[in-house]
Amino acid sequence: MTATLEVRDLRTHFFTRGGVVKAVDGVSFEIGKGQILGLVGESGSGKSITGFSILGLVDPPGRIVEGEILLKGESLVGLPEDRLRSVRGNRIAMIFQDPMMTLNPVLRIDTQMIEAVQAHHDVSRDDARARARDALGRVGIPSPEERLSAYPHQFSGGMRQRVAIAIALLNNPELISADEPTTALDVTIQGQILYEVQKLCRETGTSLIWITHDLSVVAGLADKVCVMYAGKLVESGSVDEVLDRPLHPYTKGLIGSVPSRNKRGRPLAQIPGMTPSLLNLPDGCPFADRCQRVQGDCRVALPPMVEYLPGRFARCIHPHLEAAA
Amino acid sequence: MTVFMVRRLMQSVVVLLVMSVIVFLGVFAIGNPVDILISPDADQMERERAIKALGLDLPIWEQYFVFLANAARGDLGRSFVFNEPALRLIFERMPATLELAGTAVVMSLVIGIPLGLYAGLRPQAATSKGIMAGSIVGFSLPTFWQGLMLIMVFAVMLGWLPSTGRGQVATFLGIKSSLFTSDGLAHVILPAFNLALGNAALIIRLTRAGVRESLLQDYVKFARAKGLSNQRVVGVHVFKNILIPLVTVIGLEIGGLIAFAVVTESIFAWPGMGKLIIDSINQLDRPVMVAYLMMIVLLFIAINLVVDILYSAIDPRVRLQDVKG
Amino acid sequence: MTAPLVTLVPPPKIETPFRRLVSEFMESPLAVVGLVVLTIILLVAIFAPLISPQNPYDLAKLDILDSRLQPGSKSMDGMTFWLGTDGQGRDMLSGIFYGLRTSLAVGVFSGICAMMVGMAAGLAAAYFGGRVETLIMRLVDLQLSFPTILIALILLAVLGQGIGKIILALVIVQWAYYARTIRGTALVERRREYVEAAVCLGLSKPRIIFGHILPNCMPPMIVIGTVQVASAIALEATLSFLGIGLPITEPSLGLLIANGFEYLLSGKYWISFFPGIALLVTIVSINLVGDQLRDVLNPRLRK
Ligand SMILES: Nc1ncnc2c1ncn2[C@@H]1O[C@H](COP(=O)(O)OP(=O)(O)OP(=O)(O)O)[C@@H](O)[C@H]1O
Ligand code: SF4
Ligand SMILES: [Mg+2]
């Protein structure tokens, strides 16, 4: 069976005046039907650009320079704009980070929902509106009929994000890519939305890419996890295994920096240093300057992704293999 | 809404009163009011009668109230030159000016918005750079010289268009205007274009800045992620957002156009208020100056009011907060 | 805690803020052209009496037989009028040099005066706050809601003509822009940390205003200043053209253009055309420089 989405060795670079910024530089993953993939990494590691690349929404000076993106086996890279447009919002939908910014402030909610339906289906305004109302109901917005004629500023942040999710659900997409959709919300609402999205995806068989810098979110939600560092995938595998037994020192550092109950009282581990500049990355492992296991050979060439355990890949030449617990 | 209107009306009355004080002090108190208000040809007897009649022997604040009371009755004195009520003179000339300014506004929008959109959507294109350079020249061009050059090229050298006066007037739907005859249209093109050019340059820059700003916004990216066509993203999502600054500036600029019509009317011998005021200044016809001033203030207040109402019609966020200052 | 392992980047070339501004300014070729042209114009204006082929206001030198000659014609005594002559037989080139002198002098001088008045008012508003601030800012708002030309017209109508009066009118027309800008910046600066730090150090209010806020208000002032000088020059030319600006004894470019108006319809374009070009080039070059200055001096706009 072909995967819903397969990304192979994606490279998206920005050609700026200061040089080439390799924002995404070698990312591969696969999502099956109804699966949830967590894409994790620090700020600036290229998560959002990966998400935008899938929909062909990278703005100049950025462009996909290499790689394959296959939706049910069909290649999306290099597709003409109008073909891509029929995929966007229809077969693949997106939810953005900040619900305050994603809805157009001067258009009513119904306008913004109806246009999303009519962009892909030849239906009447009334039918589109009815569909919009149902979608609002599904994401738990009370009295959807009235709320349809409201403006975004009349909603709270959590409600706006529900509207954005409803818009994503409108055309029953095969895949939703959610770019940190809960970071701008407070914790209780975060939990509710997480739960609902998970439920909706399970019900409809929609696959989901959940982009976040918060490993604890991924732990409760995803099936698979991909860890990004400086534009590169550094580790991937099933959530349980990666969290139980991280192979890459960076992943281990990330897990160590998540506060949890059983570590209370002990100082939180931190990953020392800063993310390197994506301009002129040095040869070798990009994590070398911050890595506690670094050795001379790490700086020679970029380590390849290696399948150290079945289904478990890591981009490290000295992975945590000994720590089998 | 009503609260807002009442507030605004009260503010307007205050502005009007303040302006009446300034005008009163400026024209009545600084110069010798006797010279100003009574024809210089009057003999001693007439002068004294007039001084009594005008109440110039009263204390200054009482004089102000007399002025105010007269003004409220629509009596702003008689023109020395035309020996007619000053206000009537103004009203006779006003339609020509409004016609000119209105045509100029339309022209500047028709020129400015498409060029601004183009330059904003393709900032790197050579055409866009040309448009921007042109707009700098456009608002640097002194109106009066530009008018002379228009006359030189289109009336003298090419002989395409008439260079002076207003064309035939016709009545349509109860409105008397020269825009309804071909002769009238031919006459209005040059002066209106002259008046419109600087404004068009401003609108180009404003539109471009607005487009560039809103293209960076998440809601535009989200609209594209919904699979909307480019036309819809630009025509609805971007355009509706730049409409807000545009309306504000156009509102302000209509006032500016009416004021700057002074220059254009003098060059093109357009029989409007502006030409009247220049003639009155040159002939020291002060009652007409006062009447013009008060009318202009009134006009400005009216325009500002309309702009504010339009503003709240376009920007839903304004509507809730009735009182904004 | 372990010290963060930050890799040391080699220190960049030492750049003073001024050098950085200069190099950023130079990034726009258009702005550089503007600056060069503007410099030339300023030199011409300053040295007009030395470089003009003729003293256009020495009536003894004028010959009515030379009037309205085409560009490139020769005078009775063999001098070439590169830009032709006006109705009185004056060399247009010399007239333009002298006109530039007057126009620039009036524009720059009124700009400086307006900046001082506006700065004083704006700082007073920011310093005193309360009633004073409300009063000043209401006045500014009121004035800014009326077009400059209108205010200037009224003032000149009331005041009468003359070089002093037109400068006064230009100052009155412009001060509000400076006042609004300086108060705006002062309000922003007031909230910045360094001002808070200065307050904590117990510095007095005047020290804070003049030592800390004022220097930080300078960049926007410079930008507004260039724009305002350009618009003052244009406004003065307009008023002179309308016959209510500078008197005939001090002809500015506006008056030269007005003089050519009557000949325009008979095809003698040069009398209005060349002074207008001089005016246009002056204003455009000031605006080009101002545009780039705004980008360079405004860190928010920097990409
Ligand atoms: N227009 C651009 N020009 C140049 N570089 C860019 C541009 N857009 C993004 N980048 C670079 O791409 C890198 C990845 O950005 P991206 O937004 O994908 O990060 P992210 O992982 O989503 O981070 P965050 O958690 O902050 O959202 C950044 O380091 C940034 O420097
Ligand atoms: S390759 Fe070397 S430096 Fe890079 S993560 Fe592995 S151990 Fe650390
Ligand atoms: Mg991101």
Helix axes C148-159, B286-314, angle to 10 degrees: 160
Residue with tokens 């289906």: A121
Question: What size, in residues, is chain B?
Answer: 325
CATH of the domain at A75: 3.40.50.300
Pairing type for strands A232-238 and A224-229 reads antiparallel
ipTM of the complex: 0.86
Tell me, yes or no, if A256 comes closer than 8 A to chain C by beta carbon.
no
Kindly tell me if the per-residue pLDDT of B3 is higher than 80.
no
CB A230 less than 6 A from any atom of ligand 1: no
**Which pLDDT tens digit goes with each residue over C149-204?**
888 887 787 777 778 888 998 998 899 988 888 888 777 776 666 666 777 777 67
Domain residue ranges of chain C, discontinuous segments joined by +: 28-47+90-301
In a domain, B206, yes or no: yes
Contact A123, B263 (CB under 8 A): no
Evaluate if residue B55 carries a pLDDT over 70. no
- With a 6 Å cutoff on the Cβ, whether A164 touches ligand 1 is no
Please state, in angstroms and rounded to a whole number, the distance separating the CA atoms of residues B263 and B270: 10
Distance CA C64, CA B158 (A): 31
Report the run of H or E that residue B150 belongs to, with start and end.
helix B143-150
Q: How confident is the model at residue C15 (pLDDT cuts 50, 70, 90)?
A: low
Q: What is the CATH number of the domain that holds B195?
A: 1.10.3720.10
Is residue B163 domain-resident?
yes
d(CA B287, CA B32): 13
User: What's C213's DSSP letter?
Assistant: I
Show the domain range for B151. Answer: 94-275
Q: Say how many CA atoms lie within 13 Å of C256 toward its Cβ.
A: 36
| Confidence at C114, pLDDT banded by 50, 70, 90 | very high
Q: Does B68 touch chain A (CB under 8 A)?
A: no
Q: Ligand 3: distance of its center to the CA of A52 in Å? A: 10
Instruction: Give the residue carrying structure tokens 């957002």.
Output: B241
Decide if B237 is inside a domain: yes
Check residues B322 and B303 and name the one with the higher pLDDT.
B303
- Is the pLDDT at C38 greater than 80? The verdict is yes
Question: Is B255 an interface residue toward C (CB < 8 Å)?
Answer: yes
**B257 in any annotated domain:** yes
Residue A213's identity, in one-letter code, is H
The verdict on residue B292 lying in a domain is no
Nearest to A204 by CA among A165, A174, A178, A177: A174
Number of neighbours of residue C24 by Cβ within 10 angstroms = 15
Reply yes or no on domain C28-47+90-301 having CATH 1.10.3720.10. Answer: yes
Q: Cβ B142–C145 below 8 Å, yes or no?
A: no
Apex B308 CA angle, C144 and B325, nearest 5 = 70
| B138 located within any domain | yes
Mean pLDDT, consecutive 10-residue stretches, chain A (325 aa), reads 84 85 89 90 88 89 88 86 88 86 88 90 90 86 87 86 88 89 76 81 87 84 89 90 88 77 57 72 83 84 86 87 60
Query: Quick count: other Cβ atoms within 10 Å of Cβ B237?
Result: 25
By Cβ distance, the residue of A90, A115, A164 closest to B232 is: A115
Measure Cα distances from C10 to C7, C13, C14, C126 in Å. Answer: 10, 9, 11, 43
| Tally of structural domains, chain A | 1
Contact C117, C175 (CB under 8 A): yes
Residue ranges of chain A whose CB lies within 8 Å of a chain B CB: 52, 55, 57, 85-90, 93-94, 96-98, 101-108, 111-112, 115-116, 119-120, 151, 153-154, 164, 167
- Give, in degrees to the nearest 5, the angle at Cα B151 between B148 and B155: 165
In contact, C228 and C236? CB cutoff 8 Å:
no
Core vs surface per residue C190-224: b (16+ CB within 10 A) or e: beeeebeebeeeeeeeeebbeebbbeebebbbebb
Q: Please report whether residue B4 resides in a domain.
A: no
Q: What value does the mean pLDDT take over residues C234-261?
A: 81
> What is the model's pLDDT at position C8?
45
Asked, for residue A52, whether it belongs to a domain, the answer is yes
Q: Which of A266-275, A296-305, B158-167, B315-324 has the lowest mean pLDDT?
A: B315-324
The tally of domains found in chain B comes to: 1
Q: Which residue in this structure is represented by tokens 């707009």?
A: B135
Residue C6 is predicted with a pLDDT of 43
**Residue A169 covered by a domain:** no
For A53, the domain range is 5-91+175-188+206-324
Q: Is residue B302 part of a domain?
A: no
